């Protein structure tokens, strides 16, 4: 089995224009993101291994926030997840796969987690 490196940001909340119901349109709603990026690791990490040997995990946060186009309303959170995946693939050729889990916090009544998980592999 091949080695892999998984970078992750979990439970990051960002306001996004999304939804299909009338109460969702026209205003952003909170989405909770968990994003995993799979990369091939280098052979060994020493204490002084530079950041260039991996990926800055703040790029994952950027993909789910500042990289989302301003003023765009995503009907489906699947489209939000797809945009996050594409952003991360474009940022770094070493990214082999991306998994994005999105929970729509505004729909929760009893603390349930309503959302999707999308996994894309580099094509």
pLDDT in tens, 39-90: 999 999 999 999 999 999 999 999 999 999 998 999 999 999 999 999 999 9
| pTM, to two decimals | 0.93
What is the predicted pLDDT for the residue at 33? Answer: 98
Burial of 77 (0-12, 13-18, 19+ CB in 10 A): buried
pLDDT for the residue 102: 98
Task: Indicate the SS3 state at residue 62.
Answer: helix
Total tally of structural domains belonging to the chain: 1
Out of 19-23, 28-32, 56-60, 74-78, least confident range: 19-23
Place of tokens 């703040």: 58
Contacts of 44 (CB under 8 A, 6+ apart): none
Q: What is the domain-level CATH number for residue 112? A: 3.30.1130.10
Tokens encoding 13: 């909340």
Q: With bands split at pLDDT 50, 70 and 90, how would you rate the model's confidence at 103?
A: very high
Domain range enclosing 102: 5-121
């Amino acid at each position: 089995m091949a080695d892999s490196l998984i970078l992750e940001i979990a439970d990051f909340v960002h306001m996004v224009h999304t939804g299909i119901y009338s109460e969702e349109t026209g205003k952003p709603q909170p989405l909770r993101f968990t994003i995993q990026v799979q990369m091939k690791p280098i052979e060994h990490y020493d204490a002084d291994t530079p950041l260039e040997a991996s990926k800055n995990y703040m790029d994952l946060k950027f993909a789910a926030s500042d990289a989302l186009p301003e003023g765009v309303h995503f009907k489906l959170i699947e489209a939000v997840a797809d945009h996050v995946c594409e952003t991360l693939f474009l940022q770094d050729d070493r990214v082999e796969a991306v998994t994005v889990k999105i929970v729509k916090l505004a729909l929760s009544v009893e603390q349930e987690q309503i959302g999707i998980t999308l996994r894309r592999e580099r094509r």
